[in-house]
Structure 1
Amino acid sequence: MEAAAQTPSRPGARPQENLVATTRVTLDVNGQSHTLDVDNRTSLLDLLREHLRLTGTKKGCDHGQCGACTVHLDGRRVNACLTLAVMHQGARVVTIEGLGTPERLHPMQAAFVRHDGYQCGYCTPGQICSAVAVLDEIKAGLPSHVTPDLQARPLLSIDELRERMSGNLCRCGAYSNIIDAMAEVAGVPVPGAGDRRPA
């Protein structure tokens, strides 16, 4: 990373007023390398949306409370609004645009469509990115708050899925359909799920 500071541009301004510290950062985003000079205060979310125009990742609360901005960072899910872009030199980022395409959906995207796991759709990119990561976490044996035995591998259960998705909020209330979609991909039976599927 190269750090630089821009000189004051406003006539008569004191030097400290207009200094903007920037850093050159290179990221692998959805399989493509990008090198940008960014203000050190730029969040990963703003880099994705404002600099790379990857607007699938949504800005909801901008405080890490809703999960709409969830992306994969070096294989783990993060709230992109809570981390600075310059902290991730050389990192690999996958956004909703990198999971699948309209012609070839990721299995989780296809399951969300089948189970109507969205309504307005605003939170859906973060929900899907989080859902994919949840299944990876369970497969890797990472425990959650509802894992009964922290020394044992967590069970792939509806309770585990619900707990792990609790950081992703849906104001439309599509939670049961989201869990149905995840359960289908994971191969977990959901009691009464057939009653909730759209006609």
Structure 2
Amino acid sequence: MESRKPRADATRNRRQLLEVATRMFASAEAEPSMRAIANEAGVGIATLYRHFPTRESLVDAVYQDQVSRLTGGARELLAELEPPAALRRWMDLFGEWIATKNGMLDTLLAMVESGEIAHAHTRTELLGAIDDILEAGRTTGELRADLPAEDIAAALIGIFTVAGSPANEAMAARLLNLLMDGLRPTTPGHDA
């Protein structure tokens, strides 16, 4: 039997649910209810459950969508921007990804613990995205060659742990700019 393509309205509903869930997870102090997500997306609860039968399936879809955006975003940014500008913009995307986890943290942690989400695979993908940008910057001489992606990821996690809330947006931007300053090669005759 031939598999059918999803109807246009089904595809649109799924995309809308993912966008709304992502936004609500990012802005929530606690995990929003499935009903609240459906209401905000303008669909019935049955439509939400048809696309995402469990909270875990919705969290997984949002999580995978965000990881895909981050990894694909690195390539897209490099196609448009010089490596330092691409890396700085990618850092903002990383911060948005971290923020999305706020409203789904309990479910996400349970899924990582149970093995439903392969944390190691995600880590490898994200480090690969950072490496792609770093390598481009090393090739052009615009980014230091002595820093591994792991160090940058650790610095980003630290920054967004300290300044990840919307109230600290200006602080996060300053810290990210400071990190970028440290990623540029020093010029001869200047102190490091």
TM-score for the superposition, normalised by structure 1: 0.30
Between the two structures, name the one with larger relative contact order (CA 8 Å, sep ≥ 6): 2
Q: Which has the higher strand share?
A: 1
Q: Which has the higher helix share?
A: 2
TM-score for the superposition, normalised by structure 2: 0.31
